[in-house]
Each structure stands twice: as structure tokens, then as C-alpha cells.
Amino acid sequence: MGIPLASESRLASLEGRTPTIATLCSHSSLQIFHGARALGFPTLGISVGPPPRFYDAFPLARPDRFLSVPRAKDLPSAAEKLRAEGAILIPHGSFVEYVGADTFADLDVPVFGNRAVLAWESDREKERQWLDSAGVPMPRRYDDPSEVDGPVIVKYYGAKGGKGFFLAKNRAALEGFTPTGPHVIQEYVLGTRYYMHFFYSPLSDRGYRVGHGSLELLGMDRRDEANIDELYKLGAEEELLKAGIRPTFVVTGNVPVILRESLLPRAFDVAARIVERSIELFGGMVGPFCVEGIMTEGLEFKVFEVSTRIVAGTNLFISGSPYSDLLEPGLSTGKRIAQEIQRGRSEHRLAEILS
């Protein structure tokens, strides 16, 4: 039995009706609507301005109806309409970013997953506290530049897509650097990046048992990051800086990857620790999340980030992945969310998966 996350009053709008699956028209919305429609749920697209036309090109993923708001930040003014529709909001990366974490946290509409996770994810200090106390290996953090003994990455708080991150090969290269805002100096981990798409179900009583339910691996990707991924073709960084070229990590796309099978136990161990600790800290992280880390040549996996909702890399696997196909052929993260809501409804356990 999971932990109740939603009060009775929060769920009152869903009483005795089939819920409508709603999300912001962006990011992974095609996948979310496609999955919801496959399970027979009505769907609602929240658009900023007029509904985007691109849905017409994807009939199986087009929401049944649209609700338009002038700006994403105006969503609270649509809360009553959303409740009247029996909406369950599915958060995705852009949804929370555009609406704003505080506004999203306060929305009086049922949301899939535990919105208490926002406070832990959006603050790098709190995220480190969560992962460190879970025993998850992370890149070393330097409190003072004088401690630096290898390559480092300087991250500004709130930097979107790694914009403005600073890379230094060693302590000497860091000397000329003057920070322009709150930041952390982190060990630059050399290795291969993996973005692992997990799903924690507190309702499940089968499979890889974790917490009150079970942990599933639905897919894995690597992000294409402009222009860092191609910088090696141009040569050494000092030369690039002289030419005014700075590395950026803005995500431009995703590629599918798989992990050596012998490394899967480690991947599950790390994800399970993150879930178990989330239950202790704030009642649990429910549904999709992504463990983002770097596998070194010594086969050490260091986690630099956890995204606590559906990530855009899952869009690679709308018709299944090498991992999700072993749970159910053709299973996407969007469909898995819809399945969880369907099960929560039929077992009268929506309070454990909505907040």
C-alpha cells in the first residue's frame, strides 16, 4: 500500500467519472495523448494561444479538445474549467518550466505524481542532499577553487540547458574565472552519458520490488548537446575560447542507447535508492523519472541529475523500447502513465498516485 498524496477535496472533481488526461501542448504531449487514447481516456490539450496545427499531422496523438490560455502563467485562472472537465494534469519538463514551479505546486487541479518532489528537484542543494543521503554516487563538489585537482564544470543555479556553464581543465584554468552568480564547482566526469527512463509504481505488487511497489525500466537515451558534442572536431578549448567559441549544452535532440547488460544491476540499485529515499523525505516520487549520469572507464556511474517527470528522451520509444518491450510489447512511458491511472481508478487508489 502506497502513501496517500492527495486529499479527498483535491480528488473531488474526479468523483464518479472517467478522468480527462490533460497536458500542455509541448515536450512529450504527443506521447502522453497517444498513450491516454490507447486506453480510452478523453484527452485535453492546454495550448498557449491558439491550438498548434502540428497535431493535425498526427491523428493518433491529437487531443480530443483544446483549452487555450494567453500565457502559461495564466493556468491558475483555468483551474475551475479543468476541474469541471475532470482533468488529471500530466506534468512534463516544459509544463513545469513554463508555468513556473511555484504556480504549478499550488494549482488546485489533480496532478499525476507527487508534486512535493518539485521542491527537491528544482533546488540543486536539496537535490544533492536527497541523492547523497540515498548513497548515490555523484560528481565531487568543490567548496573552494583551491581544492580543485582535475577538470571541473562550473554550473550556475537555474542555468537552462547548461547555458553559460564553464569548463576548466584544471585549477590553473579556473584562476581567470570570475563567477557572475550563484554557482557550484563540480568534478567534470569523463565518460559516457546515459539518461535512464524509470517508472516507480506504488500500486504494483509484481516485478522488481522497491518501496511500496515496483520499479520498471522503460528506456534509455543520450542527448545531443549543441555545440559541445562536436567541439572535439575543432580542437583544444583554449584555442576555441580565443576564437570566442564557448561550449554549450543546449539539448537539440536524443539518440537511443542501451547499457551493457552487466551494468543493469547497478542502474536498478541507483534508481531504487533514489525512490526509497524519496519515500522517507517527502512521501515518494511516483511515476516516470530519469536518472542522468556518466559511466566512467572504471565502470563507476556518477549521477549529475534526476528529472522527476517524463523526459523528452522517452519520445524515442512511442512504440516501445528494448527495455519496455520486455514488460509489454509497444509500451511507451505515455501509455504506462495512462495504465497507472486506470489501475488507480479501478482499485480506488488514485490518492496514492495523484497529488
Q: Which residues bind ligand AMP (CB under 6 A)?
A: 139, 153, 162, 186-189, 193, 223, 225, 249, 294, 304-305
Q: Write down the least CB distance from residue 151 to ligand AMP, Å.
A: 8
DSSP code for 354? B
Q: Which is nearer to ligand AMP, 189 or 196 (CB)?
A: 189
Q: Which is nearer to ligand AMP, 193 or 246 (CB)?
A: 193
Q: Which is nearer to ligand AMP, 204 or 307 (CB)?
A: 307
Q: Write down the least CB distance from residue 97 to ligand AMP, Å.
A: 13
Q: Which residues of 280-308 are buried (b: 16+ CB within 10 A; e: fewer)?
A: ebbbbbbbbbbbbbbbeeeeebbbbebbb
Exposed (0-12), middle (13-18) or buried (19+): which is 176, by Cβ within 10 Å?
exposed
Neighbours of 77 (CB within 10 A): 10
Q: Which three cell numbers stand for residue 143?
A: 567548496
Q: Write down the least CB distance from residue 196 to ligand AMP, Å.
A: 13
Q: Which is nearer to ligand AMP, 39 or 226 (CB)?
A: 226
Q: Which is nearer to ligand AMP, 153 or 274 (CB)?
A: 153
H/E segment holding residue 199: strand 192-201
DSSP 93-140: HHHHHHH-HHHHHH-SS-BBS-TTHHHHHS-HHHHHHHHHHTT-----
Distance (Å, rounded) from C-alpha 153 to C-alpha 188? 5
Q: Nearest-CA neighbor of 18 among 78, 64, 72?
A: 64
Q: Write down the least CB distance from residue 139 to ligand AMP, Å.
A: 4
Q: Write down the least CB distance from residue 167 to ligand AMP, Å.
A: 8
Q: Write down the least CB distance from residue 175 to ligand AMP, Å.
A: 20
Q: Which is nearer to ligand AMP, 224 or 276 (CB)?
A: 224
Packing angle, helices 124-133 and 264-282, rounded to 10: 110
DSSP code for 243? T
Q: Write down the least CB distance from residue 286 to ligand AMP, Å.
A: 22
Q: Which is nearer to ligand AMP, 214 or 314 (CB)?
A: 314
Distance (Å) of CA 351 to CA 64, 70, 280 = 26, 31, 18
